[in-house]
Amino acid sequence: MPSKSCEKCAAVFSCGIDGECWCARLPAVGDPAAGDCLCPACMKAMVVERIQQAVQQFEAGEITNPAAPYLGQTQAQSLIEGIDYYIEAGGLLVFTAWYHLKRGHCCGSRCRHCPYGHVNVPASARP
At 86, the amino acid letter reads Y
Residues of the chain with pLDDT under 70: 1, 17-19, 30-36
pLDDT of res. 33: 53
pLDDT of res. 108: 94
Between β-strands 85-87 and 12-14, what pairing exists: parallel, antiparallel or unpaired? Answer: unpaired
State the Rg of the chain over Cα. Answer: 17
pLDDT tens digits for range 98-108: 999 999 999 99
